[in-house]
Structure 1
């Protein structure tokens, strides 16, 4: 039940979105028990983002929500992989990428909760 929300201040073409979707589907497996089978993604391109008072450079803010918990080593690995994906696919510098993690205790699906 992971969810990854992406906000960037650049355009994401359909081709790039498919590439990112596929790569995030593999990357989420760095968290034990998580897979693309349950992964939900959203993409917001051309967002009005500012970092350090400026929007002159490409910027990404990515939120990752998971049901349950993971350890710091797993988050470190996922951060590295997500950073690589957005650097490669959208040419966003690692220093311009924020990634936020949230562990969710209650998660509903199909009319009930896990």
Structure 2
């Protein structure tokens, strides 16, 4: 039950959104036991963001929330994949992207908590 939220300063077209969604769906498999079949994704584009006091470059902040835990190696691999996807699809350089991970022990779905 992963969730990936991407906030960025750039505009994401419908075509780019679909392509990123598909690539993140494959990338989540870098976390053992996770797949697109439970993945929820959201996009927040055209955000006002500053990094190092400037808004001159395209920026992105990505939050990945997981039900359960993963290894540091799995997180490293997913971070690299996310950065490659955003650079390829939106032209955002890796040094202008933050990725935050959160491990969740209780996750609600369909009227129950897991």
Rounded to whole Å, the distance in 1 between the matches of 2:10 and 2:72 is 30
| Unaligned runs of at least 5 residues, structure 1 | none
Distance (whole Å) between structure 1 residues aligned to residue 10 and residue 28 of structure 2: 23
Deviation at 1:113, TM superposition (A): 1.0
Q: Tell me the number of residue pairs that the alignment of Structure 1 and Structure 2 aligns.
A: 114
Residues of 1 paired with 2:55 and 2:106: CA distance?
36
CA distance in 1, matches of 2:28, 2:37: 10
> Could you tell me which residue of structure 2 aligns to residue 106 of structure 1?
106
CA distance, structure 2, for counterparts of residue 94 and residue 64 of structure 1: 16
> Could you list the per-position Cα deviations for residues 54-92 of structure 1 after superposition, in whole angstroms to 9, with x for gaps in the alignment?
111000000000000000000000000000000000000
Are residues 1:9 and 2:6 paired?
no
**1:34 maps to which residue?**
34
Q: Distance in 2 between matches of 1:75 and 1:25?
A: 15
Q: State the partner residue of 1:96.
A: 96
Q: Any stretches of 5+ residues in structure 2 without a counterpart?
A: none
The runs of 4+ residues in structure 1 deviating greater than 4 Å are: none
Q: Over the residues paired in the alignment, what is the CA RMSD in angstroms?
A: 0.4
Q: Within 1, Cα distance between the matches of 2:17 and 2:107?
A: 26
Please tell me whether residue 74 in structure 1 is matched to residue 74 in structure 2.
yes
Find the counterpart in structure 2 of residue 87 from structure 1. Answer: 87
